[in-house]
């Protein structure tokens, strides 16, 4: 990419903690330029603009009118639709934080707004770009495992607190927060769609009105069976925030992946705790780079809005299943 092809990017909201990582990645990429930041929390926006050495814009409209080519939406889950529709109307390409939406209606409207305005919509599923997961995809694709029989995964984490536990902003607890990453990887690995979901959900750790524990089982249209633990079951003292592990069973073999195991154990006397110091590839950078390249070269995004919505649908089906105490068929009837 030649220098004048630099993609100008704006950040819309730092509500979600991942927005910081994405902004850092934009600053590190040769082909991208972080033009500015807008945030409905003015103090946070100004702090972030200073931290990332860029300009703070008083409103989202001001940012969209500042010559940006594309935006990264990092707001609270329930606010995604509003910001994506704003960006699409201004003809800006969008990378939207996961989960894409908290309802099927919002997600469909976001996809439609981007389609109508001729802009790209990419869902932020960075796990596809983690080297261990990319390696797993290659292995499955090579046929060495034979026919796939089952995929079991985990995305256990700590309770992030803040707005994540305010369901009016988050759309749900651990299930909404942690189902979508692994479901996306499962769809990507199997090349199949999920046709049935059964879930058990509870709030056994924090005892509040949001769920902190769950288990999901899923049936794919090609007969593969999937299971997932998306619980917020990590204690505060755990060495790292969460995990993505997977075990894939095929007729010729079994492969296990621990996505975040590329790390050193640090036992620190200064703060008396054990932490993981990550040394592996930067999956967020892979995600942002793929988005920037799609915008620069006008090629399709690698992770679509439809991919984002498919993962949301499984999440909503899990809630429905837990409520009905029985398996739920997909697609969901709205």
Which residues, in sequence order, are bridge partners of residue 95? 72, 122
Per residue in 305-331, pLDDT tens?
999 999 999 999 999 999 999 999 999
Q: What is the mean pLDDT of residues 262-266?
A: 91
Per residue in 155-183, pLDDT tens?
999 999 999 999 999 999 999 999 999 99
pLDDT score at 280? 86
Alpha helices in the chain (DSSP H): 18-28, 42-51, 60-64, 80-89, 104-116, 131-141, 167-170, 174-190, 283-297, 305-324
* CA 130/CA 80 separation, integer angstroms: 25
- Starting from the edge strand earliest in sequence, which strands make up the sheet with 55-57, in order? 55-57, 32-38, 7-12, 70-73, 93-96, 121-123
pLDDT score at 235? 92
Percent of the chain with pLDDT over 90: 93
Per residue in 214-227, pLDDT tens?
999 999 999 999 99
pLDDT score at 241? 85
* CA 131/CA 280 separation, integer angstroms: 8
- Nearest alpha carbon to residue 257 among 157, 151, 168, 167: 151
Which residues, in sequence order, are bridge partners of residue 229? 154
Number of Cβ atoms within 10 Å of the Cβ of 86: 21
pLDDT score at 4? 52
* CA 80/CA 114 separation, integer angstroms: 13
What domains can you pick out in the chain, each with its CATH number? 3-126+284-304 (3.40.50.720), 127-282+313-329 (3.30.360.10)
Per residue in 31-46, pLDDT tens?
999 999 999 999 999 9
């Amino acid at each position: 990419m030649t220098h004048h092809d630099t993609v100008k990017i704006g950040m819309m909201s730092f509500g979600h903690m991942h927005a910081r990582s994405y902004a850092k990645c934009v600053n590190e990429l040769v082909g991208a330029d972080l033009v500015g930041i807008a945030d409905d929390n003015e103090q946070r926006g100004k702090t972030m603009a200073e931290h990332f050495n860029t300009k703070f814009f008083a409103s989202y409209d001001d940012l969209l009118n500042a010559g940006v080519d594309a935006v990264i939406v990092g707001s609270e889950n329930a606010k995604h639709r509003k910001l994506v529709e704003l960006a699409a109307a201004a003809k800006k390409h969008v990378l939207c934080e996961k989960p894409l939406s908290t309802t099927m209606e919002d997600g469909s409207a976001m996809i439609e707004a981007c389609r109508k305005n001729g802009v790209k919509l990419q869902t932020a599923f960075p796990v596809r770009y983690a080297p261990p997961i990319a390696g797993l995809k290659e292995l499955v694709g090579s046929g060495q495992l034979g026919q796939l029989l089952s995929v079991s995964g985990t995305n256990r984490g700590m309770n992030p607190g803040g707005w994540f536990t305010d369901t009016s902003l988050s759309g749900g607890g651990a299930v909404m927060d942690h189902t979508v990453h692994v479901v996306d990887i499962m769809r990507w690995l199997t090349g199949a769609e999920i046709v049935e979901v059964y879930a058990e959900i509870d709030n056994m750790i924090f005892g509040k009105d949001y769920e902190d524990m769950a288990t999901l089982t899923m049936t794919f249209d090609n007969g593969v069976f999937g299971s997932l633990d998306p619980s917020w079951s990590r204690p505060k003292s755990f060495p790292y925030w969460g995990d993505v592990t997977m075990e894939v069973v095929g007729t010729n073999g079994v492969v296990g992946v621990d996505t975040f195991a590329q790390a050193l154990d640090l036992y620190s006397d200064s703060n008396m705790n054990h932490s993981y110091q990550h040394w592996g590839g930067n999956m967020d950078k892979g995600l942002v780079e793929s988005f920037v390249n799609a915008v620069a070269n006008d090629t399709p995004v690698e992770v679509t809005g439809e991919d984002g919505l498919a993962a949301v649908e499984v999440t909503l089906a899990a809630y429905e299943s837990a409520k009905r105490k029985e398996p739920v068929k997909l697609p969901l009837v709205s």
